[in-house]
Amino acid sequence: ASTLGAAAAEKGRYFGTAVAANRLGESDYVTTLNREFNSITAENEMKWDALEPSRNSFNFSTADRIANHARSQGMKLRGHTLVWHSQLPSWVGSLGSASEVRSAMNNHINQVMGRYKGQVHSWDVVNEAFEDGSSGARRNSVFQQRLGNGYIEEAFRTARAADPDAKLCYNDYNTDNWSHAKTQAVYNMVKDFKARGVPIDCVGFQAHFNSGNPVPSNYHTTLQNFADLGVDVQITELDIEGSGTSQAEQYRGVVQACLAVSRCTGITVWGVTDKYSWRSSGTPLLFDGNYNKKPAYDAVLAAL
């Protein structure tokens, strides 16, 4: 196959990208998006601050533009993200009691998942709930502070009821290296959820790599060990700082690691072009600022 999406489809996977709604008017952007990718994640438009800027007042217009683009192009849609400490409107942190935070969280999940029911194949139900570093501790978010450890499983149970057909994912970064404490902490949570029947279907690996945090040589081990718990794994926000051959080789390694795990169901890169990467000083993506294919693109296509 001659495109990322078609090549991934031949392997029974999707190949997606993050999309920003305000770029959908740029013809080179849309041409590249529509040609190469068969799954979309909203880069910011389905986050809490975008959808529910004040309590129980929802604005779906920008997120709908992305969902409509995916539907009109026959692309899959990943949902990102329901419960996250960041890009969270300040009103959530100002709620007076645990029961108010609980009802706000569950209402948000119900309203957002209800809106996109039947369209989103996988939802990042909870994003980045663990600390970096060696502690393996939970991040001290509004949800953790007010609701304690139980908020994650509550979010998953609410999500299952809201859209029983969507795959429910836990998503995080710095969970790629099997020997890291954070990886082990997430693994132990998923293992516990599976043992106790908490509804979880997938684990998302953001996969934001750079020279200080390169693609680990044990990546396949990490993905396989999670899959062996009985969940799908997905590469959800892939980008790799660098250029040329070394960047291409790292991209190749990520694709090979995913393809070697039968439950690794898809890969999403975190943007179409270096021109609009969230890493504004870098060049971490597959197309350069002029939408030319980079060596990393060729390596990914060849590896698929």
* Interhelix angle 151-162/98-115, nearest 10 degrees: 30
Applying the rule CB under 6 A, the residues between 236 and 265 that interact with ligand XIL are: 237
Between residues 173 and 303, which has the closer beta carbon with respect to ligand XIL? 173
Q: What minimum distance in Å lies between the beta carbon of 206 and ligand XIL?
A: 5
Tokens at residue 50, please? 């975008």
- Binding-site size, ligand XIL (CB under 6 A): 6
Joined together, the tokens standing for residue 232 give: 């799908």
153 is catalytic: no
Taking phi first (over 0 means left), then psi (-120 to 50 degrees means alpha), and beta for anything else, what does residue 39 get?
beta
Least distance (Å) from ligand XIL to the CB of residue 172?
Answer: 8
Q: Who contacts 146 (Cβ-Cβ below 8 Å, separation ≥6)?
A: 95, 97, 98, 101, 102
**Residue 43 found at the interface with ligand XIL (CB under 6 A):** yes
* CB proximity list for 193: less than 8 A, separation 6 or greater: 153, 156, 199, 200
For ligand XIL, the closer CB: 84 or 156: 84
User: What CA–CA distance (Å, rounded) separates 88 from 228?
Assistant: 33
| Cβ atoms within 10 Å, residue 157 | 17
CB of 269 to ligand XIL, least distance (A): 12
Q: Closer to ligand XIL by CB, 83 or 248: give it.
A: 83
For ligand XIL, the binding residue among 174, 206, 224, 247 (CB under 6 A) is 206
Cβ 236 vs Cβ 259: under 8 Å: no
Of the candidates 153, 154, 237, 241, the residue annotated as catalytic is: 237
**Does 274 interact with ligand XIL (rule: CB under 6 A)?**
no
- Least spacing, CB of residue 162 vs ligand XIL, in Å: 20
CA distance 258 to 218: 12
State how far the alpha carbon of 96 is from the alpha carbons of 6, 142, 200, 243, 264, in Å. 50, 11, 30, 49, 41
Instruction: Specify the residue, 56 or 210, whose C-beta has the smaller distance to ligand XIL.
Output: 210
Is 127 an interacting residue with respect to ligand XIL (CB under 6 A)? yes
Instruction: Give the span between the Cα atoms of 61 and 147, in whole angstroms.
Output: 31
Query: Interface with ligand XIL includes 278 (CB under 6 A)?
Result: yes
Give the residue at shortest CB distance from ligand XIL.
278
Residue closer to ligand XIL, measured from CB, 163 or 239 = 239
- Closest contact distance (angstroms) between CB of 121 and ligand XIL is 18
Cβ 45 to ligand XIL, closest distance in Å?
A: 10
Residue 44 binds ligand XIL (CB under 6 A): yes
Beta-carbon contacts of 160 under 8 Å, excluding residues fewer than 6 positions away, are 168, 199
Residues near ligand XIL, by CB under 6 A: 43-44, 127, 206, 237, 278
The residues carrying an active-site annotation are: 237
